[in-house]
C-alpha cells in the first residue's frame, strides 16, 4: 500500500509540472504510416492501415502524447477509430545520475527485432512479433547510463489488465561498439520472465540474437513453446545483402488489435526466411527475393518464393512483392502486395 501511495504522489507531481514545460508548443510527428494493399487471384483488394500520431515537447520534462489508428480492412470496415496509444514524460539527469520516466499506455518494445517482424511476415492478425516484450501499462521507469558503456532501467508498473501495481522489469545493457548486449528480468503476479539480446553491428556482418521466456511459472516445467526466439544474420557483400532469419513464436505475446497479452495458440512452430537483395551505391532502391518456410497454426508446412522491389524516396519506402506459394494450405497460389511506410 505504501508503494502505491508513493507512486501516485510522484505521478501527480509530474502531471502538475509537465504542462509548464510544454506550454511553449509541441512538435507533431506521424511516427508510423504503414499501408499495405493485398490482391488475390480473384482481383480482390484488402488494405491494412496502421498510423501513429505523436505530440512531443518540453525541454526539461520531455512530454509525449501518442494516438493510433489500426484497421485490417480499410475498404469495408468503418468501425476502427483513432484511439489513445500512450503518454509519457521524462525528467533527465536528476542528481547527474538518474532519468525518471512516467508513462501510461503503450511504452515500447524490449528486445526489438531488426528485420523479420511485422505483418508482412506474420499473418495472424495483431501479432506482429516485433520483439521479446512489448510494454503496456502505467508506471515509472528509473534509468541510468552514468557509467558508460553500462546502462540499467527499472520498470515498476501496473500491467494492462491488472487492477494494481503488479509488474517489475529490470534491464541491463552494455553498449561497446560494435557489440551491444542486454539482459531482461521481470515478473507480473506469479509469472516471471527472463530474456537476452545480443547484437554485433559490423561493417560486413550484422548479427542479432534475441531469446527469452515471458511466461515462467514455478508450477510447471519450461518447454520449447514458451520461448520467443529470433536469430538474424546479415551479410553485406558490396552491393549484395543476404539476410538469414530463424524465428519461433512464444505461447503468449502482445496482440496490437486486442492491446493485451494473450495466448498465441502456437505449438512446435518455426520459421526460416532467406532474403537476398541487391542495392546500388546510390541506395535509392533495392531488389531481390525471399524464400520463406513456415510451420505454425496457420500452415502445417508453408513454402513461398517472393520477388520484390523497394524504392526509397524522401521519407517514404515503397515495397512491391509477389508471393508464389509453392506449398500452402491456407493461401492463394499467387498474392500481390504493395506496402508503403513513412514517418514525418
Q: Is residue 326 part of a domain?
A: yes
Q: Cell 531488389: give the residue.
A: 287
On the question of pLDDT at 118 being above 80, the answer is yes
* Residue 281 confidence class, pLDDT cut points 50, 70, 90: confident
Q: Which helix (H) or strand (E) holds 18?
A: helix 2-22
- The three cell numbers of residue 229 are 526466439
Classify residue 238: in a domain, yes or no. no
In a domain, 99, yes or no: no
Q: Does some domain include residue 82?
A: no
Res. 2: pLDDT tops 50: no
Taking 3-state DSSP, the helix, strand and coil percentages for the chain, each rounded to the nearest 5, stand at 5, 60, 30
Q: Is residue 310 part of a domain?
A: yes
pLDDT in tens, 226-249: 999 999 999 999 899 999 999 999
d(CA 91, CA 60): 6
pLDDT of amino acid 45: 96
Number of domains in the chain: 1
The residue whose grid cell reads 546479415 is 234
Chain segment 325-339, per-residue pLDDT in tens: 999 877 889 999 999
Whole-number Å distance between alpha carbons of 333 and 262: 31
Determine the Cα–Cα distance for residues 156 and 277; give it in Å rounded to an integer.
Answer: 43
In what helix (H) or strand (E) does residue 266 lie, and over which residues does it extend? none
Q: How confident is the model at residue 4 (pLDDT cuts 50, 70, 90)?
A: very low
Give 129-186 pLDDT, tens digit per residue.
Answer: 999 999 999 999 999 998 899 999 999 999 999 999 999 999 999 999 999 999 999 9
Please state the rounded mean pLDDT for residues 299-316. 93
Closest listed residue to residue 290, CA positions, set 300, 277, 301, 271: 277
Regarding predicted confidence, which is higher, 101 or 25? Answer: 101
The contacts of residue 329 (CB under 8 Å, 6+ apart) are: 299, 300, 302
Domain that holds residue 317: 269-344
The answer as to whether 287 is a domain residue is: yes
Mean pLDDT over each residue of the chain, to the nearest integer? 91
Question: Which among 161, 118, 192 is positioned nearest to 261, based on CA atoms?
Answer: 161
Q: Identify whether 304 is part of a domain.
A: yes
With respect to residue 276, please indicate whether it lies within any of the assigned structural domains. Answer: yes
Amino acid at each position: 500500500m505504501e508503494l502505491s501511495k508513493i507512486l501516485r504522489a510522484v505521478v501527480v507531481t509530474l502531471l502538475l509540472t509537465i504542462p509548464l514545460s510544454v506550454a511553449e508548443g509541441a512538435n507533431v510527428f506521424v511516427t508510423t504510416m504503414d499501408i499495405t494493399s493485398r490482391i488475390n487471384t480473384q482481383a480482390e483488394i484488402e488494405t491494412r492501415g496502421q498510423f501513429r500520431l505523436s505530440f512531443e515537447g518540453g525541454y526539461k520534462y520531455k512530454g509525449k502524447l501518442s494516438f493510433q489508428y489500426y484497421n485490417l480492412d480499410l475498404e469495408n470496415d468503418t468501425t476502427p477509430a483513432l484511439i489513445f496509444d500512450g503518454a509519457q514524460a521524462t525528467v533527465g539527469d536528476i542528481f547527474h545520475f538518474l532519468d525518471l520516466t512516467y508513462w501510461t499506455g503503450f511504452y515500447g518494445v524490449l528486445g526489438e527485432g531488426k528485420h523479420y517482424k511485422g505483418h508482412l511476415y506474420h499473418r495472424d492478425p495483431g501479432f506482429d512479433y516485433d520483439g521479446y516484450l512489448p510494454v503496456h501499462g502505467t508506471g515509472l521507469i528509473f534509468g541510468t547510463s552514468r557509467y558508460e558503456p553500462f546502462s540499467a532501467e527499472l520498470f515498476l508498473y501496473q500491467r494492462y489488465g491488472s487492477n494494481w501495481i503488479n509488474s517489475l522489469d529490470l534491464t541491463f545493457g552494455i553498449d561497446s561498439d560494435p557489440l551491444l548486449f542486454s539482459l531482461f528480468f521481470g515478473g507480473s503476479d506469479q509469472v516471471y520472465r527472463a530474456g537476452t539480446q545480443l547484437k554485433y553491428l559490423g561493417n560486413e556482418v550484422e548479427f542479432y540474437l534475441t531469446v527469452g521466456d515471458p511466461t515462467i511459472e514455478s508450477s510447471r516445467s519450461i518447454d520449447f513453446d514458451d520461448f520467443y526466439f529470433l536469430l538474424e544474420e546479415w551479410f553485406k557483400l558490396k552491393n549484395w545483402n543476404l539476410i538469414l532469419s530463424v524465428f519461433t513464436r512464444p505461447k503468449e505475446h502482445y496482440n496490437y488489435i486486442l492491446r493485451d497479452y494473450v495466448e498465441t495458440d502456437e505449438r512446435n512452430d518455426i520459421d526460416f526466411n532467406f532474403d537476398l537483395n541487391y542495392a546500388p551505391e546510390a541506395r535509392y532502391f533495392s531488389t531481390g527475393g525471399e524464400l520463406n518456410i513456415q510451420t505454425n497454426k496457420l500452415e502445417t508446412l508453408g513454402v513461398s518464393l517472393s520477388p520484390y522491389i523497394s524504392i526509397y524516396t524522401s521519407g517514404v519506402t515503397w515495397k512491391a512483392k509477389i508471393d508464389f506459394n509453392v506449398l500452402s494450405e491456407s493461401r492463394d497460389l499467387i498474392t500481390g502486395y504493395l506496402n508503403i511506410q513513412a514517418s514525418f
